[in-house]
Amino acid sequence: MTRVAIIGAGQTPFGVRPDATLKGLFAAAVEAAVGDVQRGLDPQEIEEAHIGSLATGGSQLGNFGPLMAESAGLTGAAAQRVENACASSGFAFRDAVMAVASGRVRFALAGGIEKMSDLPRARNRGWLGVSGDVEWERLAGTNFPGIYAMIARRHMYEHGTTRGQIAGVAVKNRRHAVANPKAQLRKPLGLEDALAAPMLAEPLGFCDACGITDGASAVILCRWDDARALTDKPVEVVGSGAGSDVVALHDRAVYTRLDAVRQAARQAYAGAEVGPADIDVAEVHDCFTIAELLAYADLGFCSEAEAGRLVDGGETHLGGRLPVNVSGGLIAKGHPIGATGTGQISELVHQLRGTVAETERQVPGARYGLAHNVGGSGGSAAVHILKAPA
């Protein structure tokens, strides 16, 4: 297999963008990624475009990929939409990696886009619910806040995790987002305020969930042998894994782990020939605060019982042993569903290059970065490991 490099990465600011359109957002993300290629790249050289999107609201389902590619000037690329719930662009990125690694193409783009704020809240909730088991979970009246609340309650029961440890994830990620100009929520949050927030689904409050977000992201990949002609700092994709599990929570033997993530992580670590202890910075899928704690154990950073203590002890804070979600994560940076996976990759590319513009967010000397993107409540997952330029 051919070694794969990332030579350009970009994303729009995430947030509620009533002035923006699907086409405009995606075009802006691609423009940023192309502009990030140090010595320039003609967009017409990009042979394939893999674009993740849930297409919230169904405003554009048919020919979604070609339409987005057209909006970004990628008329020479074979374009497709990739849909795997919240993991859509994580899987789109994997498709692009495989296309380049196989030797089939020289240049590929992976990206994602979601425009969520155009729908009323009730319709948004309904649309998001289709990422669960529609036949059983939806008809029983459950939604994702309720499902993750059940996971949180079980985690507290089995592993002694406290409400304060769960809310501590939101406090940490909101603190990280303060310095990120692309983040949706940039005001710090105190633990007392997080715990006092209105209840969403007990034990999770409003601060424990990501919000409605618009945004787009894109990364450009090429063969390793071509990368040095275009940039002095190519970031290598050394590991890529994907996994699936049963979609409905009630069909799982264990509620407090995501087996799709564990499957994807095993593949990614094996491909990269590294282990959890080698990861220096991670962007994980914290759609709800409890999801970040699940990720710590599922990715091998600690046991399930130790997850809450990683936050308490500051280990996953900036300056800690393993900084997690220094972008602010989904909780604070935002979660425009289809854009999240490649948004994580974009953040890690700049971390590993040492080129984060806001120096207070830069993780110094990071060599390996991990991106973890989950679909729904764990029905699908993609894990990628990136290596810093030598």
Q: How far is CA 378 from CA 57, 118, 183, 375, 382, in A?
A: 22, 26, 25, 6, 10
pLDDT at 137: 74
Q: Which is catalytic among the residues 50, 176, 317, 335?
A: 335
User: What CATH number does the domain containing 68 carry?
Assistant: 3.40.47.10
Contact status, residue 326 vs residue 332, Cβ threshold 8 Å: no
Q: What confidence category does residue 55 fall into, taking pLDDT thresholds of 50, 70 and 90?
A: confident
Residue 16 inside a domain? The answer is yes
Identify whether 147 is part of a domain.
no
In the residue annotation, 335 being an active-site residue is answered as yes
Q: Answer with the residue of higher pLDDT: 334 or 76.
A: 334
The pLDDT value recorded for residue 62 is: 76
Adjacent-strand bridge partners of 283: 371
Domain annotation covers residue 79: yes
**146 belongs to a structural domain:** no
Q: Of 86, 207, 222, 287, which one is the catalytic site residue?
A: 86
Residue 47 belongs to domain spanning:
4-120+211-387
Q: Is the pLDDT of residue 286 over 70?
A: yes
Average pLDDT over every residue of 56-66: 75
Q: Is residue 9 part of a domain?
A: yes
Under the banding of pLDDT at 50, 70 and 90, the label for residue 126 is: low
Gap between the Cα atoms of 356 and 351, Å rounded: 6
Query: What per-residue confidence (pLDDT) applies to 197?
Result: 97
**pLDDT tens digit string along 138-172?**
767 688 899 999 999 999 999 999 999 999 999 99
Task: State the pLDDT at residue 355.
Answer: 96
Write down the pLDDT at residue 142: 81
Q: What six digits make up the tokens of 205?
A: 């409050």
Q: What is the reported pLDDT for 60?
A: 64
**What is the structure's pLDDT at 129?**
60
pTM for this predicted structure: 0.96
User: Taking all residues of the chain, what is their mean pLDDT, rounded to a whole number?
Assistant: 94
Residue 338 is assigned to a structural domain of this protein: yes
Assess whether 302 carries a catalytic annotation.
Answer: no
Q: What is the pLDDT of residues 16-45, one digit of tens each?
A: 999 999 999 999 999 999 999 999 999 999
Closest by Cα among 364, 369, 331 to 347: 369
Number of domains in the chain: 1
Q: Which of 260, 187, 234 is nearest to 387 (CA)?
A: 234
The per-residue pLDDT for 135 is 72
**For residue 302, which of 324, 329, 333 has the smallest C-alpha distance?**
324
- Of the candidates 300, 297, 258, 256, the one whose C-alpha atom is nearest the C-alpha of residue 279 is 300
Asked if pLDDT for residue 106 goes beyond 90, the answer is yes
* Residue 340 is assigned to a structural domain of this protein: yes
Residue 14 lies in a domain: yes
Query: What is the pLDDT averaged over residues 174-199?
Result: 98
Nearest to 49 by CA among 225, 217, 235, 220: 220
